[in-house]
Structure 1
Amino acid sequence: MKTMVQIVDYAERGQSLYIQLAVTDGETEKRISGEVRFLGELLYGELVHDKKSPLSEQARMDTIAYLKAHFGR
C-alpha cells in the first residue's frame, strides 16, 4: 500500500500556512491525523518531525514531499 495524504483544511496567515491533514501510512496501514505548519519554506509539526513522528520513515518522507509539492514551498 502507498502512503496516502488527505488535506482536511488549511489557512494562510502572513508567512505561516497551517495545514490539517490525515495520512494513511503505507507500511503500517494506520491512519493518523494531525496539523503541520509551513513558516516560509520550513515545515514544522509532530507528523513530520524526524524523532517524534508516529509515521514510518517512508510515510514521513512521502508526506513531506507531497506537502512541499502541493503547496509549492
Structure 2
Amino acid sequence: MKTGVQIVDYVEQGRSLYIQLKVVDAETGTTVEGEVRFLGELLYGELVHEKKSPLTDTARIETIAYLKAHFGR
C-alpha cells in the first residue's frame, strides 16, 4: 500500500460507524482530511465516492480496502 491512511477518530452508533481520517495520496503527494461512514457493510463519504473523491483512483481504492480490513466490515 502506497497510500497513507491515518484514523484520527471514530465513533460507533448502532449500525453506523463514523470515521475521521487523513489520507496521504502517494501519487499526488497531497494530504486530504475527511469523514466517511459505514452503514452496516456499506461505506459512504466523499473521500471514497468514485466521482467526488479528491483522491486518485489508486489512493481511493487502497483507502477503502484499508478501512474494510481495519474495521472488519
Question: Where on the TM-score scale, by shorter chain, does this alignment land: which range?
Answer: over 0.9
Q: Which runs of 4+ in 1 moved over 2 A?
A: none
Count of aligned pairs between the two proteins? 73
1:1-73 matches, cutoff 5 A: 2-73=2-73
2:26, 2:72 → 1: CA distance? Answer: 24
Normalised by the size of structure 2, how large is the TM-score? 0.98
Where 1:21 maps in the other structure, the secondary structure is strand
| Cα deviations by residue, 1:36-69 (Å, 9 ceiling, x for unpaired) | 0000000000000000000000000000000000
Structure 1 residue ranges without an equivalent (≥5): none
Paired letter, 1:42 = L
Aligned partner of residue 52 in structure 1, secondary structure: coil
Measure the CA separation in 2 of the matches of 1:17 and 1:43: 9
- Cα RMSD of the aligned pairs, angstroms, is 1.0
